[in-house]
Structure formats: C-alpha cells, structure tokens
Amino acid sequence: MIRSFRHKGLERFFLQGSRKGIQPKHAARLRIQLAVLNNAKSAADVALASWRLHPLTGKLVGHFSIAVDENWRLTFKFNSGDVELLNYQDYH
C-alpha cells in the first residue's frame, strides 16, 4: 500500500485523478504504475522489464526507481511491505 508521497501533484493524481501537477502524457502509465505500487509488498512485485526497476545509491540508498517515460522516474522505498516517500521526478 502507498503510505506517503513526496510529490503533491502525484498524490492528487492518485487520490483525485487530477492531472494538475503531472505531465499529462504520463497519466495512463502512472495510473497503472500507481495501482501496482499500491498492491506491492516488495520490489519484486514491480520488477517488470519495461519499468527498469533498480536500487538507488548515494543519498537515496534504500530507495528504488522505475521508469515512467524518457528521464522521468518514480522513486520510492519499501517499509514493512508498504511504499513510502513516493516521488515523481526527472532526476537525470
């Protein structure tokens, strides 16, 4: 289950369907990714090849990243089987 968001626009999209605060072209893919993340218990549950799941390093050690589109990613961490600190960002 998704417990917390860092990106308020993504949180609004998840809870209310509002595209304000996200890239509109990402809406369909984000909807699928958020549904999967909401049901995920571990990183293995989101390890689809096209999403390019990988662990992050440096100041984001313990977090994972999945590809949304181009340089855009969802980053998050698991805590007791829940997704936390979910962020939507272009970090490249």
Active site residues: 92
Q: CB 2: neighbour CB atoms within 10 A? A: 19
Q: What does the chain look like in DSSP terms, one character per residue? A: -B--BS-HHHHHHHHH---TTS-GGGHHHHHHHHHHHHH-SSGGGG--GGGT-EE--GGGTT-EEEEEETTEEEEEEEETTEEEEEEEEE--
